[in-house]
Amino acid sequence: MCQPREFEPDILETDVELLRRSKKGDQCAFEELVRRYWQKIFGFLCHGLESPQDAEDLVSETFLDAFKSRFKISDKPEAFKRWLYKVAAVKKKAYWKDKYRKPRYLPLDSVPPVCQYLDIPGTVAVIEAVLESLSEKQKNILVAYYFEDSKLKGVSQATGTSVSTACRLVKEAKERLNEVLDS
> Whose CA is closest to 141, among 107, 115, 175, 109?
175
Verify binding: residue 25, another protein, rule CB under 8 A. no
CA distance 27 to 30: 5
Residue 161 lies near another protein (rule: CB under 8 A):
no
Instruction: Kindly indicate which of the ranges 26-34, 97-105, 125-133, 174-182 contains the residues binding another protein, using the contact rule CB under 8 A.
Output: 26-34
Span from 12-20, 30-38, 125-133, 167-175 in contact with another protein (CB under 8 A): 30-38
Residues 6+ apart with CB under 8 A from 77: 14, 15, 16
Q: Least distance from C-beta 44 to another protein, angstroms? A: 6
CA distance 80 to 23: 12
Is 23 an interacting residue with respect to another protein (CB under 8 A)? no
Task: Please select the residue that binds another protein; options are 6, 24, 47, 160, rule is CB under 8 A.
Answer: 47
Among 13, 17, 23, 42, binds another protein (CB under 8 A): 42
Nearer to another protein, 96 or 147 (CB): 96
Under rule CB under 8 A, how many of the chain's residues touch another protein?
35
Q: Specify the 3-state DSSP secondary structure of 92.
A: helix
| Terminal-to-terminal C-alpha distance of the chain | 73
Nearer to another protein, 63 or 145 (CB): 63
Under rule CB under 8 A, residue 94 binds another protein: no
Residue 74 in contact with another protein, rule: CB under 8 A: no
Q: Which residues of 34-68 are buried (b: 16+ CB within 10 A; e: fewer)?
A: bebbbeebbebbeeebeeeeebeebbeebbebbee
* Residues 31, 67: Cα–Cα separation, whole Å: 10
Chain contacts with another protein (rule: CB under 8 A): 1-3, 9, 11, 27-28, 30-32, 34-35, 38-40, 42-44, 46-48, 52, 56, 59-60, 63-64, 67, 78, 82, 85-86, 89, 92, 96
